[in-house]
Amino acid sequence: MIGIIGAMQIEIDRILERVEAPVKRVESGIEYVSGKLLEQDAVVAKCGIGKVNAAACAQTMALLFKPELVLNTGVAGSLSSELGVGDIAVGTDVVQHDVDTTALGDPPGMVSTVNIVHFPLDPAAREAILSAAEALPGVRAIPARIASGDQFVAASARKAEIVRLFDAGACEMEAGAIAQICHLNGIRCAVLRAISDGGDEGAHLSYAEFLPLAAKNSAELVLRFLSRMSGS
């Protein structure tokens, strides 16, 4: 079973179109759609924006569907000159840039209880996703650290601070929570995020314009990855 989580409907619509014999189940206000997806047993969910929504979705998915791998797909802001609009950041690991207990002597991003800054992502899935991207014309995917936080980053100063503290390549609002839940449950996790904006003062304008393109690219890469898994 493969779990697929996106924050917004536009990020999962193309994937849902390919689910065969879909079965819908609603738990805690989140709809889970399970069925066959390119010959793979899969469940797809829109978690909603932000880390609490994402964590609730991922934990429920883990308990009810027991996926072996969870893919977090969607859009992100770029923190790197190597990632332009439409490009895809494939996560090497994930940090939570808004977690700050440095006043207590912890390093930036240290998530208490689990005591982790850099949440691991599955290397085999990452390499398979990068390989699948090579077959998508006009799409460029590169490995990058993903920085999550309950903040739409739209200021050059904040962008620079996240890069300085975490050396991240892309920022978004859910992957850190999903990776944390997967870590707690012993589930493999992968993150792929297409760039919709530059995380700077023009981010709100770029996001509105390029969200459809970015959502399309990330969903197409998910489908290509699953197709290769199925050998089709």
Domains of the chain, by residue range, sit at 2-230
11 catalytically annotated: yes
Enter the tokens of residue 166. Answer: 């975490």
Per-residue pLDDT tens over the stretch 94-134: 999 999 999 999 999 999 999 999 999 999 999 999 999 99
39 catalytically annotated: no
Q: What local confidence, expressed as pLDDT, does residue 205 receive?
A: 63
175-185 helix and 51-65 helix, angle to the nearest 10 degrees: 30
Q: What are 126's strand-pairing partners?
A: none
Instruction: Pick left, alpha or beta for residue 35 (phi over 0 → left; psi -120 to 50 → alpha; otherwise beta).
Output: left
Please check whether residue 60 is in contact with residue 182, taking contact to mean a CB–CB distance below 8 angstroms.
Answer: no
C-alpha span between 119 and 208 (Å, rounded): 30
Candidates 49, 93, 70, 80; CA nearest to 195 is 80
Q: What local confidence, expressed as pLDDT, does residue 232 receive?
A: 56
Per-residue pLDDT tens over the stretch 162-215: 999 999 999 999 999 999 999 999 999 999 999 998 777 777 767 778 788 889
Active-site residue, from 11, 87, 93, 174: 11
C-alpha span between 155 and 44 (Å, rounded): 32
Active-site residue, from 174, 197, 200, 220: 197
Q: What is the pTM of this model?
A: 0.95
Topology (CATH) of 2-230: Rossmann fold (3.40.50)
